[in-house]
Structure 1
């Protein structure tokens, strides 16, 4: 079966998983270390993903962190938004909290996608066509934050809610931790780009999670300026309280 015949969700999952395997091969080759490993991984995975998407969906637009932006995408309804290695630092440090993002935005909304977590034992791919029920929420909400620079809003809201901060690497790893029931709230305000959240938002939304900007407004993709300052992904029962607390800061 050719990849062109796959559904969008199947294609996203297939490519994210394959890119993850490639990245593990690059990492275990022993040729690169540290920042050089991160650069080699980015370049190799990007070449694979972009070539595959252009072959499988030649009529669609494409936006990748590792490619020069092509403004022609702004005139297209369907745009694939990819991050070949989300968490390049963690990947280069031989950690497990990095991801591969393959997302599809249609008319500005993240509709379909897959996030691969190749560093986890056995590798995991979460996508919009394979939805599992949310687990029971614990009494104390866990907030996912950067390992090195937790967002001040996340710290303040966590304190107000009696929550617990959990440090983690890439944006995709954090978002998927909420999907997988390892945490309840991912509140980010330190700045990101469209490729950091398109696939994670598509997957999180498909699993029934709340996804928005931290002022409650929708997250829009395929914009002229690809910068996205903030993001909230959380279990729906926490959304109203979190947004109200952020608004009061």
Structure 2
């Protein structure tokens, strides 16, 4: 992106960056020069280089926190901070699966104000500024869990709710599955960083979903330590029951 093509609207910028990074990642994969973990590293590097340069040009006064760039204290002095994950689900990307994502989130005053999540595999971009109605929930409910490390809390809550478990890759793919109506509850307790959930949280909130920590508190961003270990994204009508079940597990 050139300075002569500045995009004034933050939400439009987030969406364009997510889509463009997705195209870079697909092109990197299609070259077939590397595979597996090497492909994940190559994709991360290519997408991150593009995003860091584009944000420096488009929003030079804002802070940036990226999973793939060295963090510095400079962002802590900024009210506006772009929080990005060039490839959320590097393992799935390297395995040439579809359940990986690109996260472009904007935190203002520590809140996930807006974001875009691209799912380049199916060619989708979800935007906080263009929410769509979330389809009604079926019965039984569907609880998303990690393909490789299902969180014990999520498994226990699913059993209490009589929900079916749905295994999926990246955090962004799981969050967007709730937005798309393909699942109903995403409960994560295995550890995440701000870049894993800022953009998904912004998109989910814009779609009228419940988004919080496992104790029901709000997600806070641009902290000195970007570790943000737990997350709940679900339909609002299920939030109270899920949080009650989680707290019951904690007390035990």
TM bin, normalised by shorter chain, reads over 0.9
CA drift of 1:141 comes to: 1.0
CA distance 1:230–1:182, shift in 2 (3 Å): same
Provide the C-alpha distance between the structure 2 equivalents of 1:171 and 1:67, rounded to a whole number of angstroms: 20
Matched residue count: 247
With the length of structure 2 as denominator, give the TM-score of the two structures. 0.97
Shift of 1:5: 2.9
Q: Does 1:10 align with 2:12?
A: yes
Shift of 1:3: 4.6
State the alpha-carbon separation in 2 of the partners of residues 5 and 181 from structure 1.
31
Q: 2:79 aligns with which of 77, 80, 88?
A: 77
| Structure 1 alignment gaps of length 5 or more | none
Whole-Å separation in 2 of the counterparts to 1:195 and 1:149: 19
Determine if the alignment matches structure 1 residue 107 to structure 2 residue 145: no
Q: Aligned-pair RMSD on alpha carbons?
A: 0.9
Q: CA deviation at 1:93?
A: 0.2
Counterpart contact for 1:191–1:229, Cα < 8 Å: yes
Q: Which 4+ runs in 1 deviate beyond 3 A?
A: none
Match of 1:216 in 2: 216
1:31 alignment partner in structure 2: 33
Cα distance in 2, alignment partners of residues 219 and 47 from structure 1: 27
TM-superposed CA distance for 1:6, in Å, is 3.2
CA distance in 1, matches of 2:132, 2:242: 24
- 1:19 matches 2:21: yes
The answer (yes or no) to whether the contact 1:3–1:11 under 8 Å persists in 2 is no
After TM superposition, the structure 1 = structure 2 runs for residues 66-215 of structure 1, keeping only pairs within 5 Å, are 66-120=68-122, 123-215=123-215
TM-score, length basis structure 1: 0.98
